[in-house]
Chains A and B, each alone.
Chain A
Amino acid sequence: MFNKISKKLLLAPIAAAVMAFFPVAHAEDTIKVGVLHSLSGTMAISETTLKDTMLMLIDEQNKKGGLLGKKLEAVVVDPASNWPLFAEKARELLTKDKVSAIFGCWTSVSRKSVLPVIEELNGILFYPVQYEGEESSKNVFYTGAAPNQQAIPAVDYLMNDLGVKRWVLAGTDYVYPRTTNKILEAYLKSKKVAKKDIMINYTPFGHSDWQSIVADIKKFGSAGKKTAVVSTINGDANVPFYKELGNQGISAENIPVIAFSVGEEELSGIDTKPLVGHLAAWNYFMSVDTTKNAAFIKEWHDFIKNPKRVTNDPMEAHYIGFNMWVKAVEKAGTTDPDAVQKAIIGVEYPNLTGGMSKMLPNHHISKPVLIGEIQDDGQFVTVWQTNKLVDGDAWSDYLPESKPIIADWTPPINCGNYNTKTKKCSGQNY
């Protein structure tokens, strides 16, 4: 340890001297940022956009003069939608490329695969996608929505504003929908919704024959009570699902569907006519009318050189996460993970929808919740939004097993899963 520091101390003046003589920054003098998003395979559809977003943000920061007087350098790797490869590539980024922070992952399973590596090597990961919660690692910063920043407000909206009495929880069969639906079911029951008024349904990835399920939903919804579908259906399966809804005559006016995984990017590849009026809950919509957002969209179009490309929620999450990291590094005066982890808590950065997001002690951020209706141009019209930002909650209060657990990475607790009843930090690191 001492050796390392003394080496660094020795090197610093030399580096400065070299910099003075050579105006072009040498590779050694850059701060490396890892970008860990799939560029091939099934997830490439969504993740390629995030890679481009990161390149744009880094490019922009360099134009502003870099960070701590150094240029930022992106190290892009391709984990190819292969979960074990995510862990390997993360290890490569941290040990070989020695990146200061990693921005990456989309699916929960890829994050879970990276987690042990990033904790072992004490790296920093910014995770930009809405997820099921029930996790808080010392080394991960969750800039996407936790369930209480997306699912719970969405259900509240349906219940209070649309008067929904019967609920269909439909999802793809994997960890995010299962956990989210478990939380939602507990939440609905706490709101006195009877068991017979909740229908839960899981389908395989890429499911395309929705006839009987949609017919069931129709039957379930025609019992005289207002019914809504809360959809955690992922990816490709959405198109045939919405098509079948349209064909069987279910419109958003009689049974609205609220989706947590359908954003502008997903809508750009499909015929949106049958979807008009259905809902989605996010923390950002491209249609939000703020000057910050307009500037961001313009910058994105200029960078990607295609004025038809859309922006979406995970892009905003990276925007916030990256800028918070920049602020934290400036505050700490170093990119050392421990210092940055300490410095970033409490850092504030304006989000694109007009609020000021803040990094919380549980490594989640505060965000507004927006509910939008799909329009036929593939954009959303905001029909409801929280009047202030909602703090991300790592451990859901609606599941009995995680109710007493909190995450707080500030002293004296310094723990990702601290049980407030037993006053103990669980043995796990997250």
Chain B
Amino acid sequence: MTAKPGTLKPCDGYVRSMHIRTAVVLAAGEGTRLQPLTSYRPKPMLPAANRPILEHVLDALVDAGVERLVLVVGYRRRRVQEHVGPSYRDVPVRYIRQEKQLGSGHALLQAESAVENRTIVVNGDRLIEADAVSAVAETFERDTADAAVAVVERDDAGEYGAVRLEDRDIVELVEKPRTGNYRLINAGIYAFDRSIFERIENTPREAGELALPETISRMLEAKRVRGVRTDGLWVDATYPWDLLEMATEVLVRGRIAERKRQTGLWVHGDALVSDDAALRPPAVVSADSEIGPGSVVGPNVALGQNGTVGANATIERAVLGTGSRVGHGATVVDAVLGQHATLGVDTTIPGGPADVRVGHEVFEGQRLGAVLGDRVEAGGAVSFAPGTLVGTDASIGPNAHVSGHVPDDAEVVR
């Protein structure tokens, strides 16, 4: 039998004896900066290579020995619930609804009734590994700490929740300091006991929101909060092009459920790859997908389930969502395609670098060809200027040249 998503077997060394049985996964957030990809699904459901980020998170928890999963869902919650269902890899899943997305602390507070004693808490939208989960749980128990938090080293620590450690205790936790010399960040993997709920309730709201890191930083003075250094996989996606880096990380580390064909190449048993097509590792080809003759796919390509690549297409460094179609002779480089996006014959996405505008911010020199939302349709011979963002359900006529930002539902005729 071929492995199906969600049945990744734990690798040696992942399984740890852990006494915390429950994990709360915060999976209610939208991820507005990831628009247009999050128009119809929450950030945890975006693809890390060819599987949702959330699946990787759940794998890490199950591999670490968690026996009860509690998912806090909110934005587009049905997408999560339909995908995960009543259990994940034989671990029962309970859902808690967060009606309004009022911060990570507020999200965790909703799960109070589902937590009996101690619990792991993780973000559902960042790639993590089982080792980090186990390490946090073990430290929390061994040191009888009031909380334990995973920390990772990042060059751009000032962009995240920056952390300062003294010995093994966290002495400072500050959101996006921008200044100061920080190297460590909060990796979003926590262990708490039930007292956390009262602490969250006693944390003053900021602009109506309750952020979990704010509660933790208020604990630092009087309580013992252990910082647990981890050096495994940790990837966040803030902007759509981050999904390309995320896919590369997943492929390079081989966190793929499909059957391995050769080093760095995974092809599902129900995928149809022409003998005359070339697959360049690393790449993954999901179930029920098809690649036509003469096409060159890879390196760093994840073709989602039911995806179709025609003949003589060239695809490099790309994430192609479920049901996406790439026409004959198309060139697709540095691109993210949403679900059921269609590229006509001889379409060109030549790749970055480019200056990309998101809202009022401009990101210079990003390696990005294009991001296409769900169900975008591009006709034959459309060319995309580097850094183009196309909104959901937009339709682009044949031979058009598009650049910048195409809004949702737009119709572009040349």
Do A and B come from the same complex?
A: no
